[in-house]
Amino acid sequence: MDELGRDLSRREASAAVTGLGWRYVLGVLRANLRVGSLAEAADTAARILAACHDDADQRLLVDLAYVDEPGGSGPEDPLVDPLGQGPAVWFQQMDAPRPQRNRIHLDVSVPHDEAEARIQATLAAGGTLRSDAAAPAFWVLADPEGNEACVTTWQGRDPQQR
């Protein structure tokens, strides 16, 4: 909500948090904040709650984590969320090939301004773009064996944005 109490559109919510450390991802404002102590985490959480409206529980996700060095140390595996907000995804080599493919389909929801980089990384790794017909809501990509996944954003989901 804005200062007048009206709900913000997806575009307005995304623009309102740009540069503040918050990201708008599919209906939720997310932030990953690094703090120096548990007391600082509690103070930060209290300040966030004081600044938010009553419906913040359904619209905000904040991770307060202790870091003992500036910038912290991120995971080296690119399939582990460096902010620790999403699950790790692991792939295991099978002993024998399986004839059936695409037994699961992943949708990877990212902030709208990160989608292009994720798509380019997929293409650089040997993937292909199967469809961009629903972009910027989602792009369908595939690995060299034809297994599909989508990169999704909040954009293009409102009727007035299409």
Check whether 137 has a pLDDT greater than 80: yes
pLDDT per residue as tens digits for the range 7-39: 777 777 777 776 667 787 777 777 777 788 888
Per the prediction, the chain carries an average pLDDT of 76
Residues 6+ apart with CB under 8 A from 59: 27, 28, 29
pLDDT per residue as tens digits for the range 46-103: 888 777 766 666 667 777 776 665 444 454 555 666 666 666 666 656 667 666 665 6
Q: Is residue 41 part of a domain?
A: yes
Q: Is residue 76 part of a domain?
A: no
CATH of the domain at 129: 3.10.180.10
pLDDT per residue as tens digits for the range 138-162: 999 998 888 889 999 989 887 665 4
- What pLDDT shows up at residue 132? 97
Q: Is residue 55 part of a domain?
A: yes
Q: Is residue 151 part of a domain?
A: yes
Q: Is residue 78 part of a domain?
A: no
Q: What's the whole-model pTM score?
A: 0.56
Q: Is residue 90 part of a domain?
A: no
The count of other CB atoms within 10 Å of the CB of residue 119 is 18
Q: Using an 8 Å Cβ cutoff, are 159 and 11 in contact? A: no
| Number of domains the chain is built from | 2
Q: Is residue 26 part of a domain?
A: yes
Q: Which three-class secondary structure string do you get for the chain?
A: CCCCCCCCCHHHHHHHHCCCCEEEECCEEEEEEEECCHHHHHHHHHHHHHHCCCCHHHHEEEEEEECCCCCCCCCCCCCCCCCCCCCCCCCCCCCCCCCCCCCCCEEEECCHHHHHHHHHHHHHCCCEEEECCCCCCEEEEECCCCCEEEEECCCCCCHHHC
Which domain range does residue 133 map to?
Answer: 106-161
